[in-house]
Each structure stands twice: as structure tokens, then as C-alpha cells.
Structure 1
Amino acid sequence: MNPRRKHRLSIIIFVVFSVSVVTGLVLYALGQNMDLFYTPSEVLYGKHNDTNTKPHVGQRIRVGGMVVEGSVYRDPKSLKVRFDLNDIGPAITVEYEGILPDLFREGQGIVAQGILTEPTLLQATEVLAKHDENYVPPELDAQMQKVHKPMGVSDLKSESDKDRQAKKEGVNDR
């Protein structure tokens, strides 16, 4: 092989190697900063009840759900807040230190972003509350509709089909 071809080959090999290294580093950085969205049920059971898709302790995630009524505990000496978050299944506990959004309250839909420190404990770095008081994260809304529609509840805030039928028939429980 003549020296000119050797030189071209070494340049091509160097470029391919450099592009491979840069691509690998970019993918590694993206993987470290990726925050996956889960509901509280998915945190405990995995997506679609597959335990292989459960987030592991130490993973950075986002969890969306409703703040459980009566579960908010505020530390009187600091800005630490602890509350439970659930969807249609079990609840997980969220700990947060900082100023909560003005619209944060019990029964409100929120999204908490942080690190899973125990299987049912999220150390949140950010808590988001939507301005609409009827806010439900899209994934949670889809899951709730799957469960509540078959039960005869047409709207989560309205009466069930059975209640409407009873009113039509004039049945009174009193």
C-alpha cells in the first residue's frame, strides 16, 4: 500500500472513531438526563403491570397524580412538605423542600419530578400544578377513564348512570 493511501485510510479511521465516541457520549448524557413519566401505580407495579419496567431506586422520574386528602404534612420550622400522591391504585409519598405552587392543595392534580429514594418515596426537586382545577395528567386521565367508564360513571365529577336511572324512575333512598 502506498503512503498516500495509508494516510487517507488513517484519516478515515480517525474520523469514524471520533464520530463513534461523540455519538456514544451524547447518548450517555441523554440517558442520564431523561426523566420518564410514571403514575403512582406504575412506580409500584411497573408499566402495564410488568415488573421489568418499574423504576429503580436512585432513578430520576416524574410522577403525576392527585394529592391525597388529609396527607399533606408541613414542617413548621422549614419549607419541607410531605404528602401522598395516588391515581386509581396505591399511593406513594413525595417529600419536597421549597415553595409549592399557589394552586397546590389536597385533591389537586400535580406532577412531581425528583429521585426515587425508596420504592414508595420520591424526593422531589420540582412540583408542578396546573392552573385548571380540573387538571389530570393525560396518562392518568386515560387510566381513570378505562376504570371508571365500565363501572357506569360517565364523568368523574358527575353522577353515575345508575343514579340517573334511579332519578328517572323516581326511586328515592330516603
Structure 2
Amino acid sequence: MNPRRKKRLSLVLALVVGLGATVGLLLYALNQNMDLFYTPTELVNGKPDGTKPEVGQRLRIGGMVVTGSVERDPQSLKVSFKVADVGPAVTVNYEGILPDLFREGQGIVAQGVLIDANTVEAHEVLAKHDEEYMPPEIAEAMKKTHEPLKYSETQLQGSTDQ
């Protein structure tokens, strides 16, 4: 093999290795920042394909804030509340200032870490815009796993009594 071909081959090889390393690092970074979305029922019972989140996993959970479940610590900004869809309720713990639109009976999406099977430690809470709006992810997840329901305060309270 002449020196010119060796130089070309080493250049192509270095380019392929560099491109492979770049793609690998990109996939690793994206995987670290991926938060899966769950409804409260999927969090407790698992998704239809049988997958359940592990303790310590980052995730997003969306549902309706159960009426009467909001507990605020008078000494700090710690807040605890329950989120439910049509099944069991999940407790969300959050420390910080909640959005202005946060209310009992309203839809929210919380992003955080799973502490145990029924508890999420949130680092961000997002509230929906109005009574008719539902985030597309929540609407799609509820269509897949549940029949659509109009939520009233009595229905939300009844879902936690199970």
C-alpha cells in the first residue's frame, strides 16, 4: 500500500471514529435528559405494556389536583398534594412557589423524581391554562388507557376513596 492510500485510509478511519463518538455522546446526553410521562394510574399500576418506573427515576406526572389534598408547611415553601386521574391518587411533594393557576380540581403536570410507588418529589409544577384546556400528553394518555371523563370535585374525591 502506498503512502497516499495509507494517509487517506487513516483520515477516513479517524472521521468514522470521530462521527461514531459524537453520535454516542449525543445519544447518551439525550438519554440522561429524557423524562417519561405517566398518569397517576400508570405510575401505580404500570403502563399497558407492563413497564413501571423505578424508584429514583426522573419522570413527569400529570393529572388533576385532588380537592382537599393540598397541605402547606407554614414555616417554609413546602407543599404536598395528591394528583389523580380516574384511578388511584399519587402524592406530589414540592418546595417552591406554585404557579398562579394552581388550584384544587385543576390539571397539573409535575416534573421530578419517583421516591416510592405513590410519591413523587417534584422540582417543577406546571398548571393548565383554563378549565377546558388539557395538555395533549394527558389527553392522549387518558384516551389510551381510560375513557374520557369530565372531572368534578366529587368525582376526584371519590377516586381517592378506593
Is the TM-score greater than 0.5? yes
In 1, distance between residues paired with 2:47 and 2:20? 33
Return the letter of the residue paired with 2:35.
D
The secondary structure found in structure 2 opposite 1:47 is coil
After the TM superposition, which segments of 4 or more aligned residues of structure 1 sit over 4 Å from their partners?
144-149
Q: Please, which of 69, 72, 75 is the counterpart of residue 70 of structure 2? A: 72
**Aligned counterpart, 1:85:** 83
- How far off its partner does 1:105 sit? 1.2
The two structures have a TM-score, normalised by structure 2, of 0.84
CA–CA distance in structure 2, aligned partners of residues 78 and 133 of structure 1 = 29
Corresponding position of 2:13: 13
Identity %: 62
Structure 1 letter corresponding to 2:105:
G
What amino acid is the match of 1:89? G
Give the whole-Å Cα distance in 1 for the aligned partners of 2:18 and 2:62: 40
Q: Name the structure 2 match of 1:166.
A: none
Aligned to 1:117: 115
Taking the aligned partners of 1:146 and 1:55, their CA distance within structure 2 comes to 17
Amino acid at match of 2:39: T
**Superposition map of 1:11-160 within 5 A:** 11-48=11-48, 50-51=49-50, 53-142=51-140, 143=142, 147-148=146-147, 156=150
Question: What residue ranges of structure 1 are gaps of 5+ in the alignment?
Answer: 150-154, 159-174
- Write out per-residue CA displacement over residues 91-138 of structure 1, whole angstroms, 9 at most, x where no aligned residue: 111000000011111111111111112121111111111221233333
- Per-residue deviation, 1:55: 1.6
TM-score (norm 1): 0.78
Moved more, 125-134 or 136-145: 136-145
Q: 1:157: Cα distance to partner?
A: 6.2
> How far did 1:89 drift?
0.6
Q: How large is the Cα RMSD of the aligned pairs?
A: 2.1
Segments of structure 2 that go 5 or more residues without pairing to the other structure are: 153-162
Residues in 1 aligned to 2:138 and 2:31: alpha-carbon distance in whole angstroms: 25
Corresponding residue SS for 1:128: strand
